[in-house]
A and B are shown apart, each in its own frame.
Chain A
Amino acid sequence: MKLILEKSIKNRIGYSLPPDLFEDISLEDCIPEYALDKNKKNLTAVSEVDVIRHFTALSKLNYGLDDGFYPLGSCTMKYNPKINEKLASLNNFTYAHPLAPQETVQGNLEIMYHLNKLLSEITGMDEYTMTPAAGAHGELTGVLVMRKYFLDQGKKRYKMLIPDSAHGTNPASAAMAGFQVVEIKSNQNGTIDLSELERLMDKETVGLMLTNPNTVGLYDEGIVEIEKIVHGKGGLLYYDGANMNASLGILRPGDVGFDVVHLNLHKTFSTPHGGGGPGAGVIGVKKKLIPYLPTPLVDFDSSTKQYYLKEVGSKSIGKVRAFWANFPVLVKTYVWILSMGPEGLYKASETSIINANYVLAKLKKYFKPVYDRYCGHECTFTGKEYKKYGVKTLDIAKRLMDYGMHPPTIYFPHFEPYAEETIMVEPPESESKEMLDEFIDTMIKISEEAKSNPELLTSAPHKTPIRRLDDALAVKMAILTYDDELNYQKRQ
């Protein structure tokens, strides 16, 4: 499809503006010569109709969650309720300026205040900051809080323990916060090797970042010992809440002893993924860490009956972004929690766990589970067994597209010798048994195709708007803008 820049027709317009009534003011009088551009920036010239058709056509090249099954592991692609969108886009919210006087934004502050209480109850934490913009941003914020806590006590702990099964953002966030990352190997049960933990957790180590259930989808059975070891040696426990969808009303990270928790509101809490955000990565902490949270928090003054932004104080890590939060994402979360109620939240986790175990039980004859145990809200297989037919996990994923489904997460997690060629399926509570059965049947069919006609898989997909891409060529050509493309053509 042509780029919108290629559809440009001289003198065509897609904007409308009121007339310029400032004839007596000249641009040259306002803007000094050193800064004024003599030329207009060349973007495009298209009509509103062109724009509507172009982006509608583009949208049809995408596969969204409302199109069908989207079992992307670790991403919790659950249904995004439509009422959430409506209420997050009420004019009083969308037109609120972040620096408007606080008495004018009492509604916003009330939502932030209450959401803090709701999330604290759900996770067993003492206080949430609404600030971080995504999970990784929450991780960075959280580990900076841990760092500051120790520095404040005059302790220099510079290492962070991270399991080999952790999401890539965990080590990357720890490194951004200046920590040296120490990897812990997973054992044959897919969980943390306790003797390794015992050995590595020392006085120079700030603590452990843990996902539970972990990225393979397994609850760590050693959680009680893990807590004892880390806290026993003066460390702190960080909970990556990307997998919180397995724990609502079942297991509160705060009760386990986690000191910091981040939640991906765009996962467990039903807000849409937007093709890669925006979401929100709020973090909750235990009392002793509140003074280190980014500033400000939201509080309520009972004498004036006003909500207000409260400075955190001199121990705060400072700010991690401009202004306060990804506010509409908070509204959607709030609406979802109110719509679900406590029973609904529990039901969400219960259903997602049953869904995942159902898929695991029905598929394990055809695809080997990475670990053959009951799983949490997602299950992980390996495509290794199909290598002998010349078929990789990638090929299985691509073939699924021909059957109208989005592939699961593939090649993550990856750690040897247990998790290779992985296929991680997360079927959240919004997926029905019929949908799962269709997926299971399709996967079984693909497993048969892999043996009888592997070429069908290795050349898949066949029914998508485009076929497989040449990744190496993209790197080689390095065409990153339309003008790069024009230059490239000239050179050829």
Chain B
Amino acid sequence: MRYIPNTEEQKKEMLQEIGVSSFEDLIQAIPGHLRWQGKLNLPPAMSEMEVEENLNQIAQKNFNFSQMKPLIGAGAYLHFIPEAVKFLLQREEFWTCYTPYQPELSQGTLQSIFEYQSYIARLTKMEVVIPSIYDGASATGEAALMALRLTHKNKVIVSQLLHPHYFETLKTYLEPHNTEIIELPYLEGLTNLDRLKEIINEEVAAVIIQSPNFFGGIEKLEKISEIVHSQGVLLINVIVESMALGILKAPGEFKVDILVGNTQSFGLDLNYGGPYNAYLATKKQYIRQLPGRIVGETVDLDGKRAFVMTMRAREQDIRREKATSNICTNHNLNVTASNIYLSLMGTEGLYRTSLLNTKSAHYLENLLLKSGKFERVFTYPFFNEFLLKSKEEIDKLDKKLLQNNFIPPLKIYDFYPENKFKNTLLFAVTEVLSKNVLNKVAQILSE
């Protein structure tokens, strides 16, 4: 086997050195009747050639996605990824190492994390950034648990326009902790703030609001912050489409207490849903309740600037059941990817990409409305995702779009089974759809 260097002769030599006559002698601690006899019932070993052919065949059973453009987002967005991101990421020094427990051998990873924390702090105007929780949904769960610890209260109010998968995950994370989840309804595509005012009180630990929300709507965070903070409640803001930060005001400006940011849009492939990554950002005063790893600056014996995992007394390997979270392996390589991506984009590139997303999305919405085949269900400000109701049966549209190499938009009824959402689609438009392509989409959809 090419991944196992030792030969049979070496095996014998080693057994001799150990002082046993056979391998079996080493595993006597396993009760005999439990010892697996014979061969596992698995396909026989394949050569590299065969395995490659095999996988290529399976991959062919997918549609030819690199030739297709998605009109769907809903938590996963196809943005352009510069080749330099992928090229650099393949360096084995980033790829094959593990958690930087030994800083002397891990300054590459550690500095990269520190740079990323710096970027995210600037993008969000938040003070402290935990770079990596698995994804936005699990990070939302962690944020809520953090709020419970900070407030010693057990109610959370959650906007119904939180991504449904995030909502489901949140429920799972909170379920063992005797927490009451109060759903906050929406009105005209945005979270209903009058309702928020009615139901919020001092017994609530936190209010969780996604913006842009699941319908793409840009929430009135300033107002929300006023309402929430007037009751001494924590505001948790969730960003699923991080590209919006290129043009939207930073959540820190609205005194958000805990920010969850899903960063798939920053240089990560769609990959059928993962691995993505999320950061958790907060105020310095809450640092001790943060889950997960963080990197800080220090100096070495010679006074040289260096980076190290710090404030570790929160983590599972030190605190065990008293830790702020169980997270250990996170999604660090995706932090490196996003760091490289943000470096390439820079101040100007991120702004322009974000701008292009906004304009392209509004352009398509306008075309579709003008076609007379679609109408709005709500009128609300959006970034790059919007809802439109088709006057036709949407199943037919799906086929047409697939035939023309487009992945159809989301049928919102699948997630919100309400009558008004029959035949309603959630479109996502990113910079990968050029004006020409958008014209074509509109044409297909209005034929």
Contacts and interface: CB of A to CB of B under 8 A. Distances in A.
Interface residues of A, number: 204
Interface residues of B, number: 196
A319 B165 contact: yes
A340 B45 contact: yes
Contacts of A58: 107-108, 111-112
Nearest to A465: B107
B418 to A, nearest CB: 19
B310 to A, nearest CB: 4
Given A58-B111, A321-B137, A98 B84 contact: no
Interface in A216-264: 218-221, 223-224, 248-252, 255-256, 264
Nearest to B301: A467
B53 to A, nearest CB: 10
A291 interface: no
Interface in B385-426: 398, 402, 407-408, 410
Nearest to B324: A172
A353 B27 contact: yes
Nearest to B50: A338
B233 interface: no
B300 A135 contact: no
A175 B15 contact: no
Contacts of B41: 121, 342
A112 to B, nearest CB: 9
A65 B97 CA distance: 6
A397 B316 CA distance: 22
Contact of A79 (B3, B6, B78, B135): B3
B185 interface: no
B345 A250 contact: no
A86 B86 CA distance: 12
A18 B56 contact: no
A256 B295 CA distance: 41
B87 to A, nearest CB: 8
A80 B96 contact: yes
B107 A62 contact: yes
B15 A133 contact: no
Contacts of B4: 344, 347-348, 351, 429-430
Interface stretch (A40-48, A193-201, A416-424, A445-453): A40-48
Given A30-B358, A342-B42, A343-B45, A475 B311 contact: yes
B62 A177 contact: no
Given A3-B114, A104-B63, A335-B55, A168 B316 contact: yes
A42 B347 contact: yes
Contact of A36 (B5, B112, B249): B249
Interface string A74-88: 010111110101110
Nearest to A433: B10
Contacts of A83: 48, 51-52
A168 B323 contact: yes
A100 B72 contact: yes
B400 to A, nearest CB: 13
A172 B347 CA distance: 40
B78 A55 contact: no
Given A35-B218, A99-B410, A172-B326, A59 B165 contact: no
Interface in A37-74: 37, 40-46, 48, 51-52, 54-56, 58-67, 70, 72
B237 interface: no
Nearest to B434: A18
A172 B70 CA distance: 39
Interface in B365-381: 381
A382 interface: no
Contact of A55 (B19, B137, B275, B340): B340
A377 to B, nearest CB: 10
Contacts of B64: 91-92
Given A433-B14, A466-B107, A471-B308, A96 B62 contact: yes
Interface in A164-214: 167-169, 171-179, 181
A385 interface: no
Interface stretch (B121-129, B151-159, B198-206): B121-129
Contacts of A433: 5-6, 10, 13-14
B221 A328 contact: no
B97 A273 contact: yes
Contacts, number: 689
Nearest to A52: B84
B346 A15 contact: yes
Given A62-B94, A338-B54, A107 B60 contact: yes
Given A14-B349, A319-B169, A171 B301 contact: no
A52 B88 contact: yes
A456 interface: no
A42 B122 CA distance: 7
Interface in B271-298: 271-277, 284, 287, 293-298
A480 B117 contact: yes
A93 B84 contact: no
Contacts of B319: 168, 172
Given A14-B349, A58-B111, A319 B269 contact: no
A152 to B, nearest CB: 13
A354 B14 contact: yes
Nearest to B177: A178
Given A56-B88, A63-B97, A461-B104, A93 B271 contact: yes
A276 B272 contact: no
Contacts of A136: 316, 326-329
Contacts of B172: 144, 294, 317-320
B344 A48 contact: yes
Contact of A327 (B128, B176, B271, B410): B271
Contacts of A327: 271-274
A275 B333 CA distance: 6
A216 B402 CA distance: 54
Interface in A85-128: 85-87, 89-101, 104-108, 110-111, 118, 121-122
Contacts of A273: 96-99, 329
Contact of B351 (A40, A168, A275): A40
A92 B176 CA distance: 39
A361 B104 contact: no
A432 B5 CA distance: 5
Contact of B122 (A46, A320, A483): A483
B150 interface: no
Nearest to A86: B52
Interface string A327-360: 1110100110111111111111011011101101
Contact of A37 (B10, B248, B287): B248
A93 B62 contact: yes
A277 B330 contact: yes
Contacts of B355: 20, 27
A215 B271 CA distance: 33
Contacts of B11: 351, 354
Given A219-B30, A320-B169, A477-B298, A249 B39 contact: yes
A15 B55 contact: no
Given A95-B68, A108-B272, A273-B98, A5 B115 contact: yes
B273 A341 contact: no
Nearest to A218: B29
Contact of A121 (B5, B42, B115, B301): B42
B186 interface: no
23 contacts: A14-B82, A15-B346, A43-B119, A61-B111, A64-B93, A92-B63, A104-B407, A134-B329, A136-B327, A137-B138, A144-B172, A178-B177, A276-B100, A319-B165, A339-B3, A343-B39, A351-B11, A357-B18, A398-B104, A407-B102, A467-B300, A480-B129, A481-B114
Give 7 nearest A-B pairs by CB, closest first. A341-B45, A323-B273, A178-B176, A274-B333, A15-B349, A98-B273, A278-B275
